[in-house]
Amino acid sequence: TETGFPSWLAELTGRTDWPAQWALAPFVSGTGIDLSDVPDIPIRSQGTCPSSDACAFDCTQCAASDDVSSCSGFAQTFDDGPASTTTNLINNLNTKATFFTLGQNIISYPDIYRATLAKGHLMASHTWSHPFLPSLTNEQIAGELQWSIWAMQAAGGHVPKWFRPPYGGIDNRVRAIVRKFGMRSVLWNYDTNDWKLAGGDITPEEIFSQATSWIAQGPGVVLEHDIVAQNVEVGIELASSYFTDLVTVNECVGDSEYQ
């Protein structure tokens, strides 16, 4: 069942419904978010890079001092849910993972969101509708963050502390806005590329082979997805047969789960 539109949110926003799926969430001013001092870094499209001092992870793997891009243990992180496939994942994981959720999916699958939370997994933000954030205005970025946070509050009763930018699209302008919402950006140093499974461009065996080499290199943040059945099966196998010392993102750096 979809999450209804809570009365506290109607009062805050002056709206009566959630933003549309796959549409940019509108920024609601007057909510204590001041964008006047955001760094003046040019808007850019995906695949283009800013000047080097912008610290763009999607271009140069640059991470800021407060970003989480490595870990004291192995952290399985799953992007883009919740989805119907998430249920199989949480029913077969005996370890704790971090879920970077989309606001539009939270309101479509609030019961799965709450079930994931109830199993002790860490719930984190991944925007409302998965845009490439550096291509947006400051207000558009803020809107995507606002509505993701509000969806998490409506479904889970908490305010997220951890945020992952879609496509790894982040620079110092985006970071500055993320910080205004009290969140820390989470990147990764191990990418399973499990999204390529659906097109046959990578096999589960190739991912498992990668994981074996990562384990030899040392711990880190592992990028996975929970919205395709085959990805979920690979995630379950990685947790049960490959990774040990699995932790959540907040445990990577010894910080709290939520704000």
Reduced to 3 states (helix: H, G, I; strand: E, B; else coil), residue 241 is helix
Mean pLDDT over all residues of the chain? 96
Helical residues (DSSP H) of the chain, grouped into ranges:
7-13, 57-60, 86-92, 103-108, 110-118, 138-156, 172-180, 204-217, 229-241, 249-253
223 in any annotated domain: yes
Residue 31 lies in a domain: no
Q: Which strands form 190-191's sheet, in the order they lie side by side?
A: 184-185, 162-163, 122-125, 98-101, 75-79, 221-225, 190-191
Inside any domain, residue 112: yes
**22 part of a folded domain:** no
In the chain, what percentage of residues exceed pLDDT 90? 96
pLDDT in tens, 127-145: 999 999 999 999 999 999 9
Tens-digit pLDDT profile for residues 217-251: 999 999 999 999 999 999 999 999 999 889 999 99
**pTM score above 0.85:** yes
Q: Do the domain assignments include residue 51?
A: no
Q: Is residue 144 part of a domain?
A: yes
State residue 155 phi and psi, 5-degree precision.
-85, -40
Residue 231: half-sphere exposure toward Cβ, Cα within 13 Å: 27
pLDDT of residue 166 exceeding 60, the answer is yes
Q: 75-79 and 221-225: which strand pairing?
A: parallel
Hey, which residues are catalytic here?
Answer: 79, 225
Mean pLDDT lowest for which of 18-22, 52-56, 250-254? 52-56
What was the pLDDT predicted at 1?
56
Structurally, the chain folds into a number of domains equal to 1
pLDDT at 108 over 70: yes
Give the domain extent around 130.
62-253
* Res. 53 pLDDT band, cuts 50 70 90: confident
Name residues whose C-beta falls within 8 Å of residue 47's C-beta, 6 or more positions apart in sequence.
none
Find the CATH number of the domain harbouring 74. Answer: 3.20.20.370
Q: Read off the pLDDT of residues 6-50 as tens digits, 9 standing for 90 and up.
A: 999 999 999 999 999 999 999 999 999 999 999 999 999 999 999
Decide if 105 is inside a domain.
yes
Domain assignment present for residue 177? The answer is yes
Look up residue 245 and give its two tokens.
């010392």
Residue type present at position 111: D
